Amino acid sequence: MDTRTLSVSHLLLPLRVLPSSQNQTFSFSSSSSSSSSSSSSTNINHHRVTTTTTTPLAIANPTSAIIPPTADDDTVPITLRQLCQSHVPDQLLQRMEEVGYVMPTPVQKQALPRLFSGRDCILHAQTGSGKTLAYLLLIYSIISTRKSSFQALVLVPTRELGMQVTKVARILAAKPTGVEGEQRSCTIMALLDGGTLRRHKSWFKAEPPAIVVATVESLCQMLERQLFSLGNLRVLVVDEVDFIFNSSKQVSSLRKILTSYSSCNNRQTVFASASIPQHNQFLNEAVQQKWTKRDVIHIHVSPVEPMPSRLSHRFIVCDIKRKLQTLLSLIQSDAPESGIIFVSEQSEKSKKAGNSPSTSLVIDFLKTSYHGSLDILLLEDDMNFNSRAASLLEVRKGGGYLLVATDVAARGVDFPEMTHIYNYDLPKTAIDYLHRAGRTCRKPFSDVNCTVTSIIVSQERFVLQRYENELSFVCTELIP
């Protein structure tokens, strides 16, 4: 008897409901939205899949039992190649293995069969769990390199994340070692804020790329000028979907892309994030607003553990005047391989008052007082795109570094060597805490432990406690 468990929404699995304080910061509805909360009771045919429960296969005759491994069976190892075999071109699978992707992560194992079946999906899994590879494999299973048309679109909230996704997509599309021949290769365009639209326009005219990785604003500018259309689009991925919907600058353009410039009936739609607050409402809204088809699946991996278990959380209470010194002492005693020091973005009021941003204070202090071997780098919203790219390039060269950053570095950016996160300023919401913390623990099969440390003043303890409750983690106090 096969007792594997595939949980769908009408089989009542315990699902974590996000607390109301988290909900307050987030809304998918706009004033122009035609749906209302009552719409959630309509007969929507979406499914939810979780990976919380799996029971072993009962094998009737062990000696002859060659049961093909399936994605929902955790007891039988299954490779990425087996999962992708009849869907993704062999050359791409070869390349995937060559760059080190052999075994699937839990989200890949859960999602790929459903993605290959053509269903719209919401990929909801921990930071660093490999959602990018999951949706890129879907894209490579769908697009045809024989066609010279724009077939797949990945929308991202920041230039930094766009550059990273483009890089992974290009690495996968490259020829594996030893493969000869003049096969037409897959072209991938990065259409990101800060780029030159004229160059992209000429590229489109000469030969449309098969895949475009774009920030929402840059894409909309091109669409508004009718420089190309989404008419042949077969798959649309929105990465960090909750962030884009929650961004007042990006949400209306995203809505247009989803419903005016393209139709969910003509494409497969995938939304990805480690955080989808009010996910039931989002699912209903996605269907009501025709962002996805009615049978969209919610793939929710580790719903009761939204952050990696290898991550330990600490806090230290100090006087506000001693924060810099406390930071330095922590760095000296932790001796991180690499670390990010998250600092709040400077408010408009503080800018107008002519104050220095906190990032400058921290950078200047570390440059004079830190005498260790780590490089000190800066990544913040107010830097121009070239300086931001230069900082990330330094980070990617390898070697240890301390990156002083605002939340621009908190979403999606992959820092594989990162071991320590310091919240010099507390994040504004529990969701922000989760994404900052998620810049560590980015090697899916590693057992290296990582640490997040928040440096707080005593009045902030209750805020941190709220995040602990919302995200189900325990923060231990360090006594100075």
Residues making contact with ligand ATP (CB under 6 A): 80, 100-101, 103-105, 108, 127-133, 274, 412, 414, 416, 438, 442, 444
Sheet harboring 297-300: ordered strands across?
Answer: 47-50, 297-300, 121-124, 268-273, 235-239, 152-156, 211-215, 188-191
In sequence order, the β-bridge partners of residue 271 are 122, 238
How big is the CA angle at 125 (ends 314 and 168), to the nearest 5 degrees?
100
Name the residue nearer to ligand ATP (CB basis): 276 or 316: 276
Name the residue nearer to ligand ATP (CB basis): 135 or 228: 135
Q: Cβ 413 to ligand ATP, closest distance in Å?
A: 8
Name the residue nearer to ligand ATP (CB basis): 162 or 444: 444
Chain-centre distance for alpha carbon 416 = 14
Q: Cβ 166 to ligand ATP, closest distance in Å?
A: 13
Q: Among 284, 283, 313, which Cα is nearest to 300's?
A: 283
Q: Cβ 335 to ligand ATP, closest distance in Å?
A: 23
Q: Among 12, 9, 21, which Cα is nearest to 465's?
A: 21
Residue 241 CB neighbours (<10 A)? 25
Q: Cβ 165 to ligand ATP, closest distance in Å?
A: 9
Q: Cβ 417 to ligand ATP, closest distance in Å?
A: 10
Name the residue nearer to ligand ATP (CB basis): 104 or 162: 104
Name the residue nearer to ligand ATP (CB basis): 172 or 316: 172
Q: Cβ 59 to ligand ATP, closest distance in Å?
A: 27
How distant, in Å, are the alpha carbons of 309, 318, 467 from that of 474? 11, 19, 10
In sequence order, the β-bridge partners of residue 50 are 300
Name the residue nearer to ligand ATP (CB basis): 68 or 100: 100
Helices (H), 143-180: 159-173
Q: Cβ 208 to ligand ATP, closest distance in Å?
A: 26
Name the residue nearer to ligand ATP (CB basis): 108 or 289: 108
The residue type at 478:
L
Cβ-proximal residues to 437 (8 Å cutoff; 6+ apart), any chain: 127, 307, 311, 313, 421, 452
For residues 440 and 452, the answer to whether their CB atoms sit within 8 Å is: yes
Burial class, 35, CB count within 10 angstroms (exposed 0-12 / middle 13-18 / buried 19+): middle
Name the residue nearer to ligand ATP (CB basis): 129 or 166: 129
Name the residue nearer to ligand ATP (CB basis): 137 or 317: 137
Cβ-proximal residues to 279 (8 Å cutoff; 6+ apart), any chain: 18, 122, 124, 298, 300
The length of the chain, given as a count of residues: 480
Q: Cβ 272 to ligand ATP, closest distance in Å?
A: 7
DSSP label at residue 383: S
Tokens standing for residue 458: 């005593």
Q: Cβ 173 to ligand ATP, closest distance in Å?
A: 15
SS3 call for 419: coil
